[in-house]
Amino acid sequence: MPLPHTFIVKPSLPAKLKPFLELAYNLYWPRYLETAALFRDLDPGVWEKTDHNPVLLLMSLPPNRIQEIAGDPGYIARLERVWQQHQEAITPKASWARDHGLDGDLFIAYFSAEFGLSEALPIYAGGLGFLAGDHLKSASDLGLPMVGVGLLYRQGYFHQRLDRQGHQQEIYPYNDFYQLPLVAERRPGGEPLTVRVNFPDPDRQVEARVWRARVGNLNLYLLDTDCPGNLEEDRLITDRLYGGDLEKRIQQEIILGIGGVRALKALGIDASIYHLNEGHSAFLVLERMHQLQEQYGIDSGTARELAASSNIFTTHTPVAAGIDIFPPYLIDKYFTEYYQALGLSRQEFLALGRKDPNNQQEPFNMAVLALRLSARANGVSQLHGQTARQMWQSVWPGLPVEAVPIDAITNGVHTTSWVGPRMAALYDYYLGSGWRDDPASPDAWARIEEIPARELWQAHEEQRRELLAFARRRLAQQLRGWGAGLREIAALEECFDPGALTIGFARRFAAYKRPALLLSNPERLARLLGDKQRPVQIIYAGKAHPRDEEGKQLIQQITTLTGDAAFRGRLVFLEDYDLEVARYLVQGVDAWLGNPRRPLEASSTSGMKAVVNGALQASTLDGWWAEAWTPATGWAIGSGEVYADAGYQDAVEGEALYNLLEKEIIPLFYERDGSNLPAAWVEMMKRSIKTYAPTFNTQRMVAEYSQQFYLPVAGLYRRLQAGNQERARKLAAWRSRVKGAWPVLKIEEVTDDRQDEVVAGGSLKVQARIYLGTLQPEEVAVELYYGPVGPGGEITAGEKVELVDYQDRGGGRYLYSGTIPCRQGGRQGYNLLVLPRHEDQAYPYQSGLILWG
Ligand SMILES: *Cc1c(COP(=O)(O)O)cnc(C)c1O
């Protein structure tokens, strides 16, 4: 049979019901619960069956049901109310933009390989995706001019099914894009908007279609290569998120980075900031150079200055193995034509992705590419910032670790998307609308104290009941899938104790997260769970990466225990951890558990979702918890030490976890007053909400990105671009001249006025004779780097002072002088260093040149 002629059927609704369409095609519902209820009540069965897909639901409504709704004044009134609230909520608070000097020239393109926005659009795997989704929502709330750019995966990420033995099965959904909240972008003439990239064989072009989703008042553009004109294998490039081998990965990243920038151009979008959410999209920096060269007829050096002055790179990975690395042969295969067009040699091109540009063996590293060509870079918690500076120190050889230009902006969550129905109602009543409009303001949360303890506890207990009911439904589904009998399913009524301390552990099953830490002593755990007076129950959920055998075994280890008589009904594993499961879990648990092996968790955000619902967190001091934890607001497992022996560390922290549960968490939860209220626990809930809610949200996070990165960097980009790219050209010429002149620079002599000892509070005068060759003193910064001397003779916790006074000694020689304050006692040291200096550099160490003396 030949392929059929195809056509698209769209839902059709009478005028009164049109808001349904607008809502269905928006992935951000500020009034999530009310909006979801509105759709669900159209047809609860279809709502569940379609994974909460409002578009498909509208498409499946029979005409008589549509008429029925259109004639139901109560329903129409509900729709109008939700629609009005929705519109108000997605209208940005214009004052924020004004207050922060946002002018018309700022426009941000936010690139990410995944976006977690809706269970109906399964193009996310985990934390990175939710962070991207919540970033877009907060940008919409704040009125930032932004678009998202990503890939549209035909099969998305897998659904997880477990067999009776706990083996993970992966089921890939098939996404019919026409049934999702997406619109195919079209050219003015009506034909689909596509972009093309060249692949190695002559004439092999890959076409990608551009789809648009709405997120509040922003657009998210998604690229998909499943186009009829493509080779069969190229149609599969975007079939799965993180699927396939290394070559598939490079193909996906070419589509995302290069295709993504081409899509923006085709859409007429001229962004001044390109934000790379992790290194997957880093090829975009090359395409930016390419386009700037074509557009302005500038050389590659100038194009590089311009492109790099508008990129921002956020890294989420604390281990080298988490970074995409491509062997040179793959780069040769896909980029030979491309680097020739850029005017670069093979060696120059490969050097962009190498820590050591001269090492011919080194593979091409996407994070290095992003770091080299960005104006700002950051890690996603304060601790991860430190880890990232250590990890990438070698990209700036010779630079002290504290000076490595990677900042930290701690992750957050989009508050209203994660707060459950009962808590939201309570917040609305006691806090007013501030917690919705301006969650990053401590004032918005100050009145938490005024919520009567009993009301807070009741609201929380209702959310816990909702969770337990949901978990039973899911477990029943799981049992039915295994062909279990009615008796077995009915026995689920016995599962859970409605009032028991309920602990949640849900995350990706990766070894470093140690999902089985709590099971390290099964007898001890069985005693806790089986305690008749003070029962405890634990709900697990999480997927293992399809190729992660260790993660899969951990799932099995836990599911095996769930069947054991000592744990039955008190220890459960829910299949298919996704947005919906996460929502119930973080809203309903009493305590949220995290026990990653420090420092391998860059941030983690699930605990932030839980604490804003009143759960208390117990975690090792890693990621956000390392900076957030206080004894009054949660629990620390262990003391944040890192042991060389991981097995020993697990033993110590496993023991610490049991002790915490036995001595603190369980007793506090069951310390009840005459009316069965856990007053001290509720007090701690209030302190936790009040402390964490204003800080660990994406409104604060996006505001930080805006103030520290977007605004200053956009200013730099405009300056370099102005007047025929004049400053970019000068900067490029300067950089190339400095590079040529650098090898002859020499620190000829360093002297100081130290006698035997320096008294604390005094100072040390230092002089240095430096040969600058052809460079002028204005073109270099001469700095003293000083601090206490550590055991290996190195300077620890160094600080710097710049030597600004100099005398011209003729012949390219200069005598610099300055003083070091000696505040601390003990052995101190200093070094002298010289760096290129230019006011248009994005940051002082951008050239990578440094001279020590
Ligand atoms: C929030 C969330 C994550 C990320 O949270 P972590 O704490 O990093 O594990 C992953 N998956 C789902 C479904 C989430 O909701």
* Ligand 1 neighbours by CB, cut-off 6 Å: 126-127, 130, 507-508, 577-579, 582, 604-606, 609
Distance 503 CA to ligand 1 centre (A): 16
Tens-place pLDDT, residues 457-513:
999 999 999 999 999 999 999 999 999 999 999 999 989 999 999 999 999 999 999
d(CA 393, CA 377): 13
**Protein residue closest via CA to atom 8 of ligand 1:** 604
pLDDT at site 95? 64
pLDDT-derived band at 104, boundaries 50, 70, 90: low
Distance 129 CA to ligand 1 centre (A): 9
In this structure, the number of other CB atoms found within 10 A of the CB of residue 726 comes to 13
pLDDT-derived band at 797, boundaries 50, 70, 90: confident
Distance 606 CA to ligand 1 centre (A): 5
* Residue 578 Cα: closest atom of ligand 1: 13
Sole residue written with tokens 């392929």: 3
Distance 125 CA to ligand 1 centre (A): 9
**Protein residue closest via CA to atom 13 of ligand 1:** 578
pLDDT at site 671? 98
d(CA 250, CA 169): 26
Distance 126 CA to ligand 1 centre (A): 5
Which value, to the nearest 10 degrees, does the dihedral of the CA atoms of residues 239, 240, 245, 250 take?
70
Distance 440 CA to ligand 1 centre (A): 21
* Residue 606 Cα: closest atom of ligand 1: 7
* Residue 603 Cα: closest atom of ligand 1: 8
* Residue 508 Cα: closest atom of ligand 1: 9
Distance 572 CA to ligand 1 centre (A): 19
pLDDT at site 1? 64
The residue whose CB lies within 8 Å of the most ligand 1 atoms, and thus the one to mutate among 411, 507, 625, is: 507
Query: What three-state secondary structure class fits 617?
Result: strand
DSSP 710: I
Task: Please check whether residue 379 is in contact with residue 406, taking contact to mean a CB–CB distance below 8 angstroms.
Answer: yes
**Protein residue closest via CA to atom 10 of ligand 1:** 126
Opening angle at CA 239, ends 238 and 242, nearest 5: 75
**Average confidence (pLDDT) over 733-746:** 96
CA atoms 719, 725, 726, 728: torsion sign: positive
Task: Please check whether residue 95 is in contact with residue 142, taking contact to mean a CB–CB distance below 8 angstroms.
Answer: no
Residue 852 has pLDDT above 80, yes or no: yes
Residue 836 has pLDDT above 90, yes or no: yes
Tens-place pLDDT, residues 232-272:
999 999 999 988 899 999 999 999 999 999 999 999 999 99
Distance 403 CA to ligand 1 centre (A): 31
Task: Please check whether residue 161 is in contact with residue 549, taking contact to mean a CB–CB distance below 8 angstroms.
Answer: no
Closest CA to 303 of 359, 337, 341: 341
What share of the chain in percent tops pLDDT 70?
98
Distance 592 CA to ligand 1 centre (A): 12
Which value, to the nearest 10 degrees, does the dihedral of the CA atoms of residues 588, 593, 598, 600 take?
-40
| Average pLDDT across the chain, whole number | 94
Distance 589 CA to ligand 1 centre (A): 15
Closest CA to 36 of 56, 9, 54: 54
Task: Please check whether residue 685 is in contact with residue 452, taking contact to mean a CB–CB distance below 8 angstroms.
Answer: no
The domains found in the chain, sorted by start residue, are 15-90 (no CATH), 459-696 (3.40.50.2000), 745-852 (2.60.40)
Q: What tokens were used for 227?
A: 């186009």
* Residue 581 Cα: closest atom of ligand 1: 13
Task: Please check whether residue 124 is in contact with residue 241, taking contact to mean a CB–CB distance below 8 angstroms.
Answer: yes
The residue whose CB lies within 8 Å of the most ligand 1 atoms, and thus the one to mutate among 118, 119, 130, is: 130
Residue 558 has pLDDT above 90, yes or no: yes
Distance 538 CA to ligand 1 centre (A): 17
**Protein residue closest via CA to atom 12 of ligand 1:** 126
Distance 609 CA to ligand 1 centre (A): 9
Where residue 343 falls (left for φ over 0; alpha for ψ -120 to 50; beta otherwise) is left
* Residue 506 Cα: closest atom of ligand 1: 9
Task: Please check whether residue 100 is in contact with residue 153, taking contact to mean a CB–CB distance below 8 angstroms.
Answer: no
Residue 54 has pLDDT above 90, yes or no: yes
**Protein residue closest via CA to atom 11 of ligand 1:** 126
Distance 621 CA to ligand 1 centre (A): 18
Distance 91 CA to ligand 1 centre (A): 28
Distance 235 CA to ligand 1 centre (A): 30
* Residue 609 Cα: closest atom of ligand 1: 1
* Residue 582 Cα: closest atom of ligand 1: 15
* Residue 513 Cα: closest atom of ligand 1: 9
**Average confidence (pLDDT) over 412-434:** 97
Distance 449 CA to ligand 1 centre (A): 29
* Residue 605 Cα: closest atom of ligand 1: 7
**Protein residue closest via CA to atom 1 of ligand 1:** 606
Q: How many alpha carbons fall within 13 Å on the CB side of residue 516? A: 19
**Protein residue closest via CA to atom 9 of ligand 1:** 507
d(CA 93, CA 78): 25
Q: What tokens were used for 606?
A: 């699930």
**Average confidence (pLDDT) over 690-719:** 96
| Cβ within 8 Å of residue 34, ≥6 positions away | 81, 82, 85
Task: Please check whether residue 152 is in contact with residue 222, taking contact to mean a CB–CB distance below 8 angstroms.
Answer: yes
The residue whose CB lies within 8 Å of the most ligand 1 atoms, and thus the one to mutate among 115, 509, 605, is: 605
pLDDT at site 103? 66
Opening angle at CA 71, ends 68 and 73, nearest 5: 125
Largest separation between any pair of C-alpha atoms in the chain: 97
In this structure, the number of other CB atoms found within 10 A of the CB of residue 100 comes to 16
d(CA 278, CA 128): 8
In this structure, the number of other CB atoms found within 10 A of the CB of residue 737 comes to 14
**Protein residue closest via CA to atom 5 of ligand 1:** 606
Distance 142 CA to ligand 1 centre (A): 24
**Average confidence (pLDDT) over 132-151:** 96
Distance 409 CA to ligand 1 centre (A): 18
pLDDT at site 673? 96
Distance 357 CA to ligand 1 centre (A): 36
Strand residue runs (E) in 333-408: 364-365, 376-379, 407-408
**Protein residue closest via CA to atom 6 of ligand 1:** 604
**Average confidence (pLDDT) over 718-726:** 94
Residue 98 has pLDDT above 90, yes or no: no
* Residue count (the chain): 853
**Protein residue closest via CA to atom 4 of ligand 1:** 127
**Average confidence (pLDDT) over 385-411:** 95
The residue whose CB lies within 8 Å of the most ligand 1 atoms, and thus the one to mutate among 512, 579, 585, 606, is: 606
**Protein residue closest via CA to atom 3 of ligand 1:** 127
Task: Please check whether residue 588 is in contact with residue 502, taking contact to mean a CB–CB distance below 8 angstroms.
Answer: yes
Residue 93 has pLDDT above 80, yes or no: no
